[in-house]
Each structure stands twice: as C-alpha cells, then as structure tokens.
Amino acid sequence: MDRLLFLGVGTIASAVQRALPELPSAGTTRAAPDQRFGTIRPIAAGDLAAIRAASQGAAVIVSFPPDGQRDRVWCELVKGAASIAYVSSTAVYPANAGLVTEASAVSEGDERSERARSRLEAERLWRDAGASVVRLPAFYGPCSGLHLSLARGTFRMPGNGSNTVSRVHEDDAARFVCAALRAAPGSLLLAGDDEPSPVAFVVAFVCALFGLPAPLGSEGEQIPLSLRASRSIDNRATRTAHRIQLAYPTYREGYQAIFRAKGNSPGHY
C-alpha cells in the first residue's frame, strides 16, 4: 500500500488514517470539509472523475452506509484499485444468532432483515469489484460509545441487559480493516474483541469507571433495534488467519484507555 482512498470519511476512516499516517490519503465528502480532512485530501462526492483517478493503484476503504445508489456507481469507478476493503456490519446476522462464525447464516425473513438485505447487496457489489469484506460490530472510542450516551442520560438498559453483544474499539476496528486490505479479494473478516459480554456487565463497568449513575430501563418496543440483538462474534479464525493483535482485547482495556486519556486514573471494578 502506498496511498489510501476513503469512500466515506467517518470514525473508521479516521482510525485507519491514524493507523497508517505515513500514507497520503484522500476521501470523499458531500459537504464542506471539516476537521476530519486535516490530513485527508477532500474529494467532492459528486466528482466521479476525481474518484476514479484517486482510486487507481490505491488501497480503497468503503465505509459509507448503503443507499441503493452510490454502491452501484462507485464500485465501477475503483476497479483499478490495488485493493478494496468494504466495511460492513454484523447486523447482517439474525438478532438472536448466538455465536457467530464465518459459517453462520445471514439474516432472512424478519422485521430487521431489510437493513441486512441492503448490506448484503452492497457486500455483493463490492466483492464483485474485488473487495474483501470486514463485518464490524458496534465500535467505540473517545468520541463515541457507551460512556458518552450514559453521561448524556440517553442510554436505556434493554430489559435486564442479559443479551450478549460484541463490540470493538475503533483503533482495533482499523486493524481489521487494514488486514482486509491485505487479504485475498473476496475474503470475509469477522471483527470484534475477545470477550462478547452481556450489556449489563459492560454498563456496570463503565458506570463504575466513569462515576456515572445507573441508567433507566426500557422494555418491549421502547428498546432500539440495535440493542435487542444477542450475538457473540467469534473473531478467532479471522485474527489467526490475518495475524491481528488487538490493543484492547476486552471492553475493560478499551474503556480504561479512554478514561486515562481524559486525564483521570482508572478506578477499581
């Protein structure tokens, strides 16, 4: 890899750019460039000629949500790329999938499956263009995650919080994406930390660490779809095959690092 092109510049793109700061990078934007483009050269999302030119020989990271239009257009523009990583979601698996491996079936036939179908269709388009696919669970970091929604008071415990959820620190998510760029075209990588855990366990840890009150609860239809699922992403095959070493193997190390970065000292749990 000698340069990067980000189709969509958000949290994951920024994390990948931090992981590979020596590589010149460009990224698409549909608005005036903001602080994320301090080290990423902006390209207008409507400038198809510029996107095509920037993609030639580049490592391309696709991280915008599927909209039924851009995937079909942009995957045709980047066929001269050196490698392509498509950033997908573990939401393509059924909500109550339990343990998820590379052999697990994707979602079909329930009320959440429309989002899954959109993602899977986008995956197919990008794989046909030569991409590897990395499926990410919920990711968190200094500027996004449970510690912030708890502090704002917007998080509600889903039922008793017994559903198991996988997550990954954004810096480790970038490690999976970088591995996807090096992988054979068409590869599937499953991302996540080493300890999928019940929501209640993670909430209790974060509240104790940051000195936050326990959240209110929610039941039934009050629970957001993203918090109703119970999936444990098994990252072992992906980590072994692609030699990925996590900086934050569990949510404990991840949130403790965020806490320390705020100028505090970790509490006891």
* Model confidence pLDDT, tens digit, residues 183-217: 999 999 999 999 999 999 999 999 999 999 999 98
Percent of the chain with pLDDT over 90: 84
**Do the domain assignments include residue 146?**
yes
Domain with 19, as residue range(s), is 4-261
Q: How confident is the model at residue 114 (pLDDT cuts 50, 70, 90)?
A: confident
> What's the mean pLDDT when you consider all of the chain?
93
**Do the domain assignments include residue 268?**
no
3-state secondary structure string, the chain?
Answer: CCCEEEECCCHHHHHHHHHCCCCCEEEEECCCCCHHHHCCEEEECCCHHHHHHHHCCCEEEECCCCCCCHHHHHHHHCCCCCEEEEEEEHHHCCCCCEEECCCCCCCCCCCCHHHHHHHHHHHHHHHHCCCEEEEECEEEECCECHHHHHHHCCCCEECCCCCEECEEEHHHHHHHHHHHHHCCCCCEEECCCCCCEEHHHHHHHHHHHHCCCCCCEECHHHCCHHHCCCEEECCHHHHHHHCCCCCCCCHHHHHHHHHHHCCCCCCCC
**Do the domain assignments include residue 267?**
no
**Do the domain assignments include residue 266?**
no
Separation CA 217–CA 105 (nearest Å): 31
Q: How many CB atoms lie within 10 A of CB 222?
A: 11
**Do the domain assignments include residue 35?**
yes
Separation CA 179–CA 157 (nearest Å): 34
Instruction: Give the tens place of pLDDT for each residue, 219-233.
Output: 888 887 778 889 999
Is the distance from CB of 170 to CB of 191 less than 8 angstroms?
Answer: no
pLDDT above 90 (res 89)? yes
Instruction: Give the tens place of pLDDT for each residue, 119-176.
Output: 999 999 999 999 999 999 999 999 999 999 999 999 999 999 999 999 999 999 999 9
Determine the angle formed by the axes of helices 70-77 and 113-128, rounding to 10 degrees. 20
Report the number of distinct structural domains present in the chain. 1
Give pLDDT, residue 264.
59
Higher pLDDT, 65 or 107: 65
CATH number, domain with residue 56: 3.40.50.720
Is the distance from CB of 181 to CB of 131 less than 8 angstroms?
Answer: no
Rg (CA), the chain: 19
Separation CA 156–CA 117 (nearest Å): 28
Structure tokens at 75: 């995957």
**Do the domain assignments include residue 269?**
no
Give pLDDT, residue 109.
54
Total-model pTM: 0.93
**Do the domain assignments include residue 181?**
yes
The full length of the chain comes to 269
